[in-house]
């Protein structure tokens, strides 16, 4: 790789080698030089595709070199920029720029990333900076040398001379403001672009993440001077946001370039038996260092029994959650592949960003882990497979592997061989059939919804390696409700955790969204809201803990209503044929106003639980009953006995004789009214109490049949 002359002169003074052994194969690549202040992540998409492309490995190398010339300084506020810039310029050396970082996730709020012109300035900072002194030795902080500092004292130095003041880069434009702009747009494609820009990785966030890796490298430099912390995942592949977790891989001793040999060999302690046991032991020791010595690192957690052992911790200064692994760099090369797919067409990143936001709005993405729903990685590969199969916008891995050369071959620590073309600069039209097309983002999103709604996930497997869908292999040990082959580790299923309910939900939501766009929905926000509302089911819970049985009804809800028409008719027939004292007293009452009825305890008769009780009672008193798993008609004796029981029950409850000629109507209306409170809703509370006492104590007579179970 051709480096600027200034960087070439600085190479001997860097704390760690700039030419990473993991990246040495990229030396022959001829890519456009990166400007020191170029914004690689937050630039709005161009109106048309750019034929140039910068491989991710080269970008990572450049960013790591920038982090080697930078420090993070806590200040009182954004107005501290002139004082900080003049002090650093006069004491440590020329400053190229200041980048303001507002941390919203902790008590440490305002920071500036100070980028010097030379790494020797950072060495001077680490050599001259002091530690805060406590009142006694026990209260003194751990004297760790770190690129994370804070500015103390009052301004006392003169400002830098005119023309020497470094540029101060303000914070990124507010994402909420971009969302408001998107709501005001009428074009769906433009709304998608603004939504993407509202969540995309900012320049400050990118620089901050590489400083986190630099902090680890400096902490381990005494024992492992060649150690490298390489970022991977959504923070570097082009699909992440400023709130994405920071995934990093620690390589203690990177492989040396071919030809570097020496007869002297280091003495070293023997490792643990087995590679996995060795990685777990290293993770334990590094976790202790992170927890005990590195400033800002809190809540350290060791996940040693996962498929890839990791260390999880929170960086309070950056406001980020970090995952550090030590076993394999395959995640870095997966990020390279995703970065290449994202760079082949500017429409890929906005489409993925909107699909992720839409999926989260529909409940397809959950924050808990592990999960049976979708992850951002799964959704990203789903969009990649869609663009491969429907539009040939992205090449398959086989196509990229066929165009690879010897410098595109890499080997990971777990013996994984990676081979695909990394530099597609000036070759994008060869791999992207839609490079010159005018296909809009709205059309792509509409077609994506149809693709998900119509795809046969039960019988087909998505394969980004071939760029097609292949028949599902039922004998595959990793097969699940949705099969999607991992491009680099082909024995893994990317969507192995997704269950059938999640796949069905995806297809229903996609079908609803496609139908909404067919009807002419002109706002991406309406599309998300309509799909979400349509997918909501009515709450038919029968869990008593979730019911408001004891709440007082509102004034409007307290208005009483008459029973349903069918019960009114049955009750009218029963009263006409078998009048009793209770019924006679009711005739003198005035008709009740219309409105929903309520029981005295505040539960509405329309509640799902009471409706379920009514249906159960109807089944219990129907002319047939279950016996050993099947319905059989009741015998004549059983029927007569049941009618006698119900007739006596009516007599006990209402104090009158039931006419045998109208027995079914009287029984049905009276039983429903007594059990569900139909009669109770029209009686006063005192009369209701008396009727309940009568029903309770009249059942205890010896001549009465057994109690009817409700």
pLDDT band (50, 70, 90) for residue 120: very high
Among candidate residues 587, 586, 578, the one with its CA nearest the CA of residue 647:
578
Handedness of CA 386, 388, 391, 393 (dihedral sign): positive
Contact 51, 425 (CB under 8 A): yes
Average pLDDT score over the chain: 77
The Cα–Cα gap between 605 and 567 comes to 13
pLDDT tens digit sequence for 317-337: 999 999 999 888 899 999 999
Total residues belonging to the chain:
710
Q: Tell which wins on pLDDT, 231 or 522.
A: 231
* pLDDT the model gives residue 159: 59
pLDDT band (50, 70, 90) for residue 648: low
The Cα–Cα gap between 458 and 465 comes to 20
3-state class (DSSP) for residue 9: helix
Domains of the chain: 346-535 (1.10.1410.10), 563-626+633-698 (no CATH)
The Cα–Cα gap between 615 and 567 comes to 14
Give, in order, the Cα–Cα distances in Å from 161 to each of 86, 165, 622: 9, 7, 97
3-state class (DSSP) for residue 372: coil
Residue 378 clears pLDDT 70, i.e. is over it: yes
409: β partners: 419
Residue 129 clears pLDDT 70, i.e. is over it: yes
* pLDDT the model gives residue 616: 56
Q: Which two tokens stand for residue 650?
A: 């009516």
Cβ-Cβ contacts under 8 Å for 607 (sequence gap 6 or more)? 547
Cβ-Cβ contacts under 8 Å for 4 (sequence gap 6 or more)? 33
Mean pLDDT over 253-267 rounds to 83
* pLDDT the model gives residue 298: 93
Task: Provide φ and ψ at 658, rounded to 5°.
Answer: -90, 130
pLDDT tens digit sequence for 15-57: 443 344 455 444 333 333 333 334 444 445 456 889 999 999 9
Task: Provide φ and ψ at 571, rounded to 5°.
Answer: -65, -35
* pLDDT the model gives residue 157: 56
Among candidate residues 684, 487, 515, 474, the one with its CA nearest the CA of residue 586:
684
Q: Tell which wins on pLDDT, 233 or 588.
A: 233
């Amino acid at each position: 790789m051709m480096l600027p002359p200034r960087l070439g002169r600085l190479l001997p003074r860097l704390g760690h080698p700039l030419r990473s052994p993991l990246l040495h194969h990229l030396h022959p690549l001829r890519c456009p030089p990166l400007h020191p202040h170029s914004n690689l992540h937050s630039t709005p998409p161009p109106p048309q595709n750019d034929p140039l492309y910068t491989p991710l490995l080269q970008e990572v190398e450049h960013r790591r070199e920038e982090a080697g010339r930078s420090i993070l300084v806590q200040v009182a506020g954004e107005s501290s920029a002139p004082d900080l810039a003049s002090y650093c310029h006069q004491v440590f050396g020329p400053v190229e720029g200041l980048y303001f970082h507002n941390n919203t996730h902790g008590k440490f709020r305002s920071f500036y990333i100070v980028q010097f012109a030379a790494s020797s300035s950072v060495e001077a900072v680490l050599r001259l900076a002091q530690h805060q002194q406590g009142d006694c030795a026990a209260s003194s902080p751990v004297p760790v040398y770190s690129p994370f500092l804070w500015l103390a004292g009052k301004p006392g130095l003169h400002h830098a001379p005119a023309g020497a003041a470094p540029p101060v880069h303000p914070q990124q434009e507010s994402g909420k403001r971009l969302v408001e702009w998107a709501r005001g747009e009428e074009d769906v494609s433009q709304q998608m672009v603004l939504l993407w820009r509202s969540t995309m990785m900012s320049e400050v966030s990118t620089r901050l993440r590489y400083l986190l890796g630099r902090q680890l490298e400096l902490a381990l430099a005494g024992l492992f001077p060649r150690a490298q912390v390489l970022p991977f995942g959504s923070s570097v592949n082009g699909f992440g946001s400023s709130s994405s977790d920071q995934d990093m891989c620690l390589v203690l001793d990177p492989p040396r370039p071919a030809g570097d040999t020496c007869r002297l060999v280091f003495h070293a302690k023997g490792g643990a038996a087995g590679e996995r046991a060795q990685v777990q032991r290293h993770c334990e020791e590094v976790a202790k260092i992170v927890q005990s010595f590195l400033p800002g690192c809190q809540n350290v957690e060791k996940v040693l029994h996962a498929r890839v052992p990791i260390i999880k911790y929170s960086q309070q200064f950056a406001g980020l959650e970090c995952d550090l692994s030590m076993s394999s760099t395959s995640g870095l090369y997966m990020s390279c592949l995703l970065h290449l797919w994202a760079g082949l067409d500017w429409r890929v990143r906005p489409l993925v960003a909107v699909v992720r936001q839409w999926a989260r709005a529909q409940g397809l993405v959950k924050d808990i882990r592990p999960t049976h729903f979708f992850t951002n990685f799964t959704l990203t590969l789903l969009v990649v497979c869609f663009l491969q199969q429907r539009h040939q916008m992205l090449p398959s891995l086989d196509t990229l592997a066929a165009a690879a050369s010897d410098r595109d071959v890499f080997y990971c620590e777990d013996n994984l061989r990676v081979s695909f073309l990394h530099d597609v600069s000036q070759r994008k039209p060869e791999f992207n059939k839609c490079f010159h097309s005018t296909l809009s983002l709205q059309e792509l999103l509409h077609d994506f919804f149809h693709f998900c709604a119509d795809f046969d996930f039960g019988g087909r497997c998505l394969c980004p390696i071939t760029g097609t869908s292949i028949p599902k292999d039922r004998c595959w040990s990793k097969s699940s409700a949705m099969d999607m082959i991992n491009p680099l580790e082909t024995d893994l299923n990317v969507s192995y955790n997704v269950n059938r309910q999640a796949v069905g939900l995806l297809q229903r939501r996609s079908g609803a969204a496609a139908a909404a766009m067919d009807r002419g929905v002109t706002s991406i926000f309406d599309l998300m809201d309509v799909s979400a509302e349509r997918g909501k089911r009515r709450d038919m819970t029968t869990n008593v803990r979730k019911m408001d049985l004891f709440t007082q009804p509102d004034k409007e809800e307290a208005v009483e209503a008459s029973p349903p028409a069918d019960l009114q008719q049955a009750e009218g027939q029963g009263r006409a044929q078998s009048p009793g004292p209770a019924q006679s007293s009711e005739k003198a009452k005035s008709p009740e106003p219309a409105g929903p009825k309520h029981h005295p305890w505040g539960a509405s008769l329309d509640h799902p639980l009471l409706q379920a009780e009514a249906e159960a009672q109807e089944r219990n008193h129907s002319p047939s009953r279950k016996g050993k798993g099947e319905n059989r008609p009741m015998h004549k004796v059983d029927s007569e006995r049941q009618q006698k029981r119900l007739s006596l029950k009516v007599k006990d409850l209402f104090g009158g004789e039931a006419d045998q000629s109208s027995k079914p109507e009287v029984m049905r209306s009276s039983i429903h009214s007594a059990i569900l409170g139909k009669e109770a809703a029209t009686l006063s509370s005192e009369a209701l109490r008396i009727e309940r006492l009568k029903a309770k104590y009249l059942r205890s007579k010896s001549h009465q049949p057994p109690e009817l179970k409700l």
